[in-house]
A and B are shown apart, each in its own frame.
Chain A
Amino acid sequence: MEATPAAIEATGAATPSVVRLPPAQAVIGGITLARWRQLAIIACVIVALVIPFVVKNFFIFQLTLALVYALAILGLNLLTGFNGQFSLGHSAFYAIGAYTAAIMMDHWDVAYYWTLPVAGVVCLISGFLFGLPALRLEGIYLALATFALAIAAPQILKFSPLEHWTGGVQGIVVIKPDAPFGLPLSSDQWIYFFTLAVAAVLYVCAVNLVNSRTGRAMKAIRDNAIAAGAMGVNVSLYKSLTFGVSALYTGIAGALGAVVAGFVAPDSFTFTLSIQLFVGLVVGGVGSIPGTLFGGLFALFAPNVAESVSKGLAGAVYGVILILVIYVMPSGAAGLVRLIVSKLARSAR
């Protein structure tokens, strides 16, 4: 890379009068990129609001679950995509969230909506505490340590001394809530809207977070931890807190999942769930927040599609789908969208 002398020596004195423009906005079809983004968000919101009135209840149920997965993947993405820490143990945090909610509803008759903040706080604390020893581990070693968590979780949930709380192998059945205030919605429709609202709030918070001072510190640690420390970022504190916040997101997703599915059982939270979340993360795009929505849809529907193609070879079909997806979008759905946008912008110029 050739650099001119001017590239080293700044020529001008401070010129504060220069207008501070946002990044040069590409224009596609006479509309700026920022406006396209707004339009896309509005379109998604409209579709999300209308869809439960035009599809069958079972499909609404599936969409709700996809949204729950997306939220869990968002939690994983905050950790991996924005802070550079790996986890194969997020099924454990999902399980903690789900069981917190189920136990509260089953034992103390707590309303389902109050279980979410409690599940979030419980997971925040568990994640933070797990993040402390994890500080000593990097990359694949951290992946292994978190893998241990995923392996342990279902067995602990079946452990007989805890059976009174966890319901052992049977798990806990939760009564699905109906729409309040006599709203003319089916139970599935209502849970869908409830999940949508919770997810919307948490997505907005995540976008705020990654674009803030805290988010910049998280990303700085991901890119170069030593330099981040030299710039005054308390690396250990941010890493363990990010672990906590990541677990909080996944835990709230777990609590929602318990409400949506209507029951919790240890075998729903095996290591396979961790891998599903991880696949959703990669397929959606590591480090992309909108990508997690695609990841959630993929995590839920790809196995179903595979099964509809061939009952006997569902696993193999799923594998083929996965390879095709990674081949077509090596940096996830978010990467593909970025590529298409930059191509369009170039051809429009």
Chain B
Amino acid sequence: MTPLLRVANVGVRFGGIVALERVSFDLEAGQMLGLIGPNGAGKTTLFNCLSRLYTPVEGDILFEGASILDKAPHRMVEIGIGRTFQNLALFARMSVLDNVRVGGHHVARSDFFSDALHLPWVRRQDHALDEIAWELIDYLDLHAVAHRSVADLPFGLQKRVELARALAVKPKLLLLDEPAGGLNHVEVDGLGRLIRRIRDERNVTVLLVEHHMNLVMSVCDRVVALDFGRKIADGTPAEVQRNPDVIAAYLGTAA
């Protein structure tokens, strides 16, 4: 069976610096894969390749068996890849509801002309989009703040808005870029439960880039570790945790 996502020998260079070197792994549908590594290991670089912000100089990325490298970044949602961002990338001056609606942008079709005239078929579409958005707002308990501007919300709520927006894409694969960043321990536990619930209840495969080892170890089925752009480990959380290269990468060698 073809895996949902196959990263095959992906290499990225910035000038003379090798950011990723022949990194390969598969992600099966329904799995939750954690991508770990110290700062500068290439996690976010790989992530940006997956959402087509960077193009690898070598290798290929296959989604459901087809290469994504010939597609523009805004086409990623159409094939079923949604994402969140490392330091939140919300539409700050828009309401929570509108942020989530933008997540459903590709579900509807309209243009400047039909929207300016507010034609009947546009109205029907808006209705369908609203259903999607409100269902997610209910799902993530954002009802009380639905009409508030995102910029006015506390950080934790903003994270949930970003999750709701990514889910409005109706992704098969959800890319989460350091979701635990800026949260305290209690909050991280809550986040872990939430991510698992989303995976189980909404049928999404999750690729989680994370610094926070406890979160990765407690929620992921599999972990891939990167260091200096190379893959140094791939296995269950327990295996990866015991891997001497991983320990060395995180704690430094005793050399």
Contacts and interface: CB of A to CB of B under 8 A. Distances in A.
User: Are the chains A and B members of one assembly?
Assistant: yes
A230 B90 contact: no
Contact of A213 (B72, B82, B117, B126): B126
Interface string B84-103: 01000111111000100111
A8 B108 contact: no
Contact of B155 (A3, A209, A215): A3
Given A5-B187, A9-B194, A15-B138, A231 B103 contact: yes
Contacts of B157: 3, 7
A256 to B, nearest CB: 18
B26 interface: no
Interface size class of A (residues with CB under 8 A): 35 or more
B160 A232 contact: no
B138 A214 contact: no
A214 B110 contact: yes
A42 to B, nearest CB: 21
Interface in B136-169: 138-143, 147-148, 154-157, 159-160, 165, 169
Interface in A42-60: none
Which residue, B91, B101, B191, has most C-beta atoms of chain A within 10 A? B91
A219 interface: yes
Contact of A10 (B117, B139, B155, B189): B139
A347 interface: no
Interface size class of B (residues with CB under 8 A): 35 or more
Interface string A216-241: 11011011101111111111000001
A81 B77 CA distance: 27
B182 to A, nearest CB: 9
A209 B115 CA distance: 5
Interface stretch (A16-24, A173-181, A288-296): A16-24
Contacts of A6: 141, 190
B90 A209 contact: no
A18 B51 CA distance: 35
Given A1-B155, A223-B93, A212 B118 contact: yes
B194 A208 contact: no
A38 interface: no
A228 B78 CA distance: 14
Contact of A7 (B110, B112, B143, B187): B187
Contact of A232 (B129, B169, B189): B169
B73 interface: yes
A296 B115 CA distance: 25
Contacts of B92: 223-224
Nearest to A244: B112
B160 A216 contact: no
A233 B102 contact: yes
A3 B106 contact: no
A7 B156 contact: yes
Nearest to A15: B138
B122 interface: yes
Contacts of B125: 213
Interface in B230-252: none
A7 B94 CA distance: 20
A241 B122 CA distance: 19
A209 B193 CA distance: 40
Given A217-B105, A223-B93, A224-B90, A4 B156 contact: yes
Interface in A252-308: 287
Contact of B147 (A22, A208, A219, A229): A22
Given A2-B154, A14-B139, A217 B160 contact: no
A48 B102 CA distance: 37
B169 A212 contact: no
A31 interface: no
B51 to A, nearest CB: 6
A227 B84 CA distance: 9
B74 interface: yes
Nearest to A4: B156
B183 interface: yes
Given A6-B190, A213-B105, A232 B78 contact: yes
A212 B114 CA distance: 10
B186 interface: yes
A33 interface: no
Contacts of A183: none
Contacts of A219: 91, 93-94, 98
B194 A8 contact: yes
Nearest to B150: A223
B19 to A, nearest CB: 18
B116 A209 contact: yes
B111 A226 contact: no
A245 interface: yes
28 contacts: A4-B156, A5-B187, A6-B190, A7-B160, A11-B141, A12-B141, A205-B116, A205-B117, A206-B116, A209-B116, A213-B101, A213-B115, A213-B125, A214-B111, A214-B115, A216-B105, A217-B102, A220-B91, A226-B89, A227-B85, A229-B73, A230-B51, A230-B82, A231-B77, A232-B74, A232-B75, A233-B102, A234-B72
**8 tightest A-B CB contacts, nearest first:** A3-B156, A9-B190, A7-B156, A212-B115, A23-B147, A232-B106, A232-B77, A227-B89
